[in-house]
Amino acid sequence: MNVSTCENNKFLIYTVKNMTIGFSTAENNLNFNKFLPEGHENLEKLKKWFNVEKVVFLNQVHGIDIHCFDGEKEITDLDGDGVITNNKKSLIGVFTADCVPVIIVDEAIGAMAAIHSGWKGTLNNIVLNGIKEMMKIYGSKPENMKAFIGPHNKVCCYEVSEDLIELFKQCEIFKGENINEGRNLNLQRCVEIELVKAGIIQENIIAVNLCTYCSEETKLFSYRKEEESKGRLFSFVFANEED
């Protein structure tokens, strides 16, 4: 894993061919809450920091809707929790502060997805839905995909109700799977199950081993830990023109 510094703000950066996958941190109090002036400014700064023409995101509602960005029609005001594109020089991303950010790239054709998978989205298989949309719209094949799971409230700290644990275990895709430790739900494991179910091989699933709640090595925002903090992380992907 490479860590790059842009304008004194730290991002966790991966590269796959001409595609860049980034996860922001809270170092230097870097905040991407779009409802705050500083968040809006930082979203705009991404264009300069990463040399992209557009920054694309949605009005997240903890649902399962996936929107396609064609490079022209603006979708920023649309409700949804996943964006897919194959447009070069456009950065797509999702906001999180404990939920699971999932970035998917198709190495063969350059299609990309940014997905916000909280417990509601995970329970309703939003990641699986996003992959199906990439297959339908771009002709993507799971065997050509890599998936990146960003910082989130991991199983070590994500305590939920017994009723919610049971709800997950009743979901067809998670039946018989080891998805919890007592009342602690393993959202990462649930996302991995969706990815493998879709056809992505385990070796192509890369997880950032950072918990938003208890990480000490890297500063991150946590909605739970900071009493409904207004801090937001931004996870994104973009593609430059190939040489």
List, for residues 60-76, the tens digit of each pLDDT value.
999 999 999 998 888 88
Measured N-to-C along each axis, helices 126-138 and 187-198 cross at an angle, to the nearest 10 degrees, of 30
The CATH superfamily assigned to 2-151+203-239 is CNF1/YfiH-like putative cysteine hydrolases (3.60.140.10)
Q: Give 118's DSSP letter.
A: -
Confidence (pLDDT) at 110: 95
CA dihedral 243, 84, 211, 10 (to 10 degrees): 40
Q: Give the start-to-end residue ranges of the domains of the chain.
A: 2-151+203-239
pLDDT tens digits along 129-187: 999 999 999 999 999 999 999 999 999 999 999 999 999 999 999 999 999 999 999 99
Cα–Cα distance measured from residue 241 to residue 11, given in angstroms and rounded to the nearest whole number: 22
The reported pTM is 0.95
pLDDT of 2 higher than 60: no
**How would you class 160 by CB atoms within 10 Å of its CB: exposed for 0-12, middle for 13-18, buried for 19 or more?**
middle
- In angstroms, the CA 105 to CA 204 distance is 10
Q: Would you state the pLDDT for residue 228?
A: 61
Calpha distance 184→178 (Å, rounded): 11
